[in-house]
Amino acid sequence: MALLALYGNTPSVPGTLVDHPGSPRIVASATPDSISRRQARSALPAMAATTVARASEATTEVTFSNPESPRAHETVAIELLENVADGAQVHASLWNLSLGRPLHGFKHAADVGTLLLVSDASATHWRMSALRETADESYVEVFRGTNHNKFVLVDKLATGEEWVVYTTSANFTKHQRKWEQTTVVHVGNKALYDSYLEYWESLRVGKPAHLERIHGRVKLWTYPTNTGHAFLEGIAAARCDRGAEITISSLQFRNTGMAQALRLASQHGCIVSVRTSAHWADANDIAILTHDTDVTLTYASTHSKWMAIDKVGRRCRSYVYTGSTNINERVHEAADSTLRLKGRKIYDAFRSEG
């Protein structure tokens, strides 16, 4: 499955605030914006995949979007949906959709297979309503502003690949093109697919389950949960005594426990950098995070939700945590998911964005 890879980097200075830096630098040779819609459709299969992890037949691929390449995450989703195999099952859990091409992609998936959808009742755009009507089964009434998930599951592609898990920080809306976004696609990890399918079923019945499952190099958290944000696990295990680097990108920073954990990590030798939106940052939590610390705080147009740590645990391995969950207190009430991914290539890919 060919995915378009877009990477960027915005420099920041330790101990300073950087107000709205410029868009990250793009080093990909082509983006969906540089070619016509018809060319984009024909070019998709030929685009080089960025495979950052491989275990037997399972792969993990990462794609980044930003204002200079605003449709990258949409392109990945459209490619996926337009390559659904005949008779395949597609399970989706979405916060919102108001874009035509993703809607057409979902309609195609419904035409050739079975589309089952969970969405939030707060999403009222007519294209979201059209998607619900397209789905074989759609569930919305149980959620009122609490289903924040953004994932799609496909059991088989026309190319023969199976057990696809598409996760992203982005909604399918025009507004999302103004922000940095992160998309991760897993192919061939049936255990992970099955766990997401179990979670999807819990969403369907209106009782989202809290899962913590390890499947090879991937660990899945689902929310709501009273055990705290998944990022806290990584911060607690970071090797600050070895100068571990902790880098975070999150639309929101509204979690006192996270601010305190990062502050403590910085005081114990970790190099901490946080990118967040000034509009969604809590002043008290930012003060805890930055007052009398060496934490680097960057205000940026980011909608991503990830944390990368280069040295974790006894073996000083590299971990990335990513998904649809912002750094806020809503882990106790909103339906979301986070993945922990192991490996230096995964870490390097995410650090190239942040």
* Three-class SS of 63-101: EEEECCECCHHHHHHHHHHHCECCCCEEEEEECCECCHH
- Structure token digits, residue 216: 């090879």
Q: What pLDDT score does 43 carry? A: 32
Residue 34 to residue 221: CA distance in whole angstroms: 37
User: Could you identify the residue written with the tokens 């019945």?
Assistant: 205
Q: Phi-psi bin for 158: left (phi > 0), alpha (psi -120 to 50), beta?
A: alpha
Rg (CA), the chain: 19
Within 10 A of 244 (CB to CB), how many other CB atoms are there? 23
Confidence grade of residue 53 (pLDDT, cut at 50, 70, 90): low
Question: Model pTM?
Answer: 0.86
The answer to whether residue 7 scores a pLDDT higher than 50 is no
Nearest to 122 by CA among 136, 101, 135, 141: 141
Which domains does the chain show, CATH number per domain?
26-222 (3.30.870.10), 232-353 (3.30.870.10)
Length of the chain in terms of residues written? 354
Rounded to an integer, the average pLDDT of 53-58 is 61
* b/e 220-229 (16+ beta carbons within 10 angstroms → b): bbbbebeeeb
For residue 10, what pLDDT is reported? 33
Eight-state DSSP code of residue 163: E
Among all chains, which residue has been given the structure tokens 């942040």? 354
- Give the pLDDT band of residue 352 (cuts 50, 70, 90): confident
pLDDT of 39 over the 90 cut: no
326, two tokens: 């912002």
Q: Give alpha helix (H) positions in 113-189.
A: 126-134
Confidence of residue 353 (pLDDT cuts 50, 70, 90): confident
Q: What is the pLDDT of residues 285-344, one digit of tens each?
A: 999 999 999 999 999 999 999 999 999 999 999 999 999 999 999 999 999 999 999 999
- At 201, the amino acid letter reads E
Q: Which of 26-35, 69-78, 92-101 has the lowest mean pLDDT?
A: 26-35
Percent of the chain whose predicted confidence (pLDDT) is above 90? 83
